[in-house]
Amino acid sequence: MGIKKIEQILELTAKLKELLSTTTTTTTTVITADKLSPIYNLVDQIEQQLNELNITTNTKNTCASMKEKGDVFHLPLPQDFLNEEGKLALFADGASRGNPGMGAYAVFAQLPNETIVFDKCDFATMVTNNQMELRAVIAGLQEITTSFPLQLKEKIFVYTDSRYVVDGVNSWLAGWKKRNWRKADNKTPENLRLWQELDQLLANFKSIKFVWIKGHNNHCQNERCDKICNKILDKILKVK
């Protein structure tokens, strides 16, 4: 299955990096044909595994009918994810028509080589925009928690255009928990059940970083999620 293939590819890639580092230890190294042969062999194996992988969408939770034609083939990853050698990048977005009203979310994840490893979307009635933003992240982290090997959970980046989600995780959550799930004014946080569900999921990850991105600002992954959300809502509201 797809996850096993990912593990095999990661193992082969690690071997390739090790081989390259020993082959090119100095700028004066002469790379002979006998040194190149095992490198080419590993590259061929990795290419074969990638061809067999074929997991651009999750068939159990497919959003294929909501996508633009050809929209998945080149989604360059954020530079901070690449610079910090992230293992998996999660992109999430939620929307609602009315607050509360009909809502939808879309979420997908990419490996460092830009492969989309799963794709999820859903809708709900009588929800707020903030609730759908939270649900998008929760759905993505649930998928990673249950379906992905440990090595891919070591460095997760979560990208969302929701200040509510990013500030909640990075600034508010720890204080709420210290006060027994109360805000500084002693009131219960809005959407408490969703925050508690998200908090439980966060415990599954060794390193997870939440990053705010500006919405509707030509961020290709965010734009993709936004389009899927709006297509879902357009379709549902049109039917109604």
85 counts as catalytic: no
Mean of the pLDDT values across residues 97-124? 95
pLDDT of residue 50: 53
Sign of CA pseudo-dihedral 215, 218, 220, 226 = positive
Residue 202 has pLDDT above 90, yes or no: yes
101 counts as catalytic: no
pLDDT of residue 200: 97
161 counts as catalytic: yes
Q: Beta strand 101-110 with 88-98: parallel, antiparallel or unpaired?
A: antiparallel
Does the bond joining 100 to the residue before it have cis omega, within 30 degrees of 0? yes
Mean of the pLDDT values across residues 206-226? 94
Residue 61 has pLDDT above 50, yes or no: no
133 counts as catalytic: yes
Mean of the pLDDT values across residues 64-93? 80
Q: What is the pLDDT of residues 49-60, one digit of tens each?
A: 554 544 333 333
Which of 86, 93, 103, 140 is catalytic? The answer is 93
In whole angstroms, give the CA distance from residue 118 to residue 238.
27
Residue 185 has pLDDT above 50, yes or no: yes
Which of 133, 140, 143, 168 is catalytic? The answer is 133
The burial of 181, by beta-carbon neighbours within 10 Å (0-12 exposed, 13-18 middle, 19 or more buried), is given as middle
- 3-state class (DSSP) for residue 14: helix
Residue from 48, 26, 22 nearest 36 by CA: 22
Q: Where are the beta strands (DSSP E) in 99-207?
A: 101-110, 116-127, 156-160
Residue 32 has pLDDT above 60, yes or no: no
11 counts as catalytic: no
pLDDT of residue 218: 86
In whole angstroms, give the CA distance from residue 63 to residue 234.
14
Helix H or strand E segment including 125: strand 116-127
226 counts as catalytic: yes
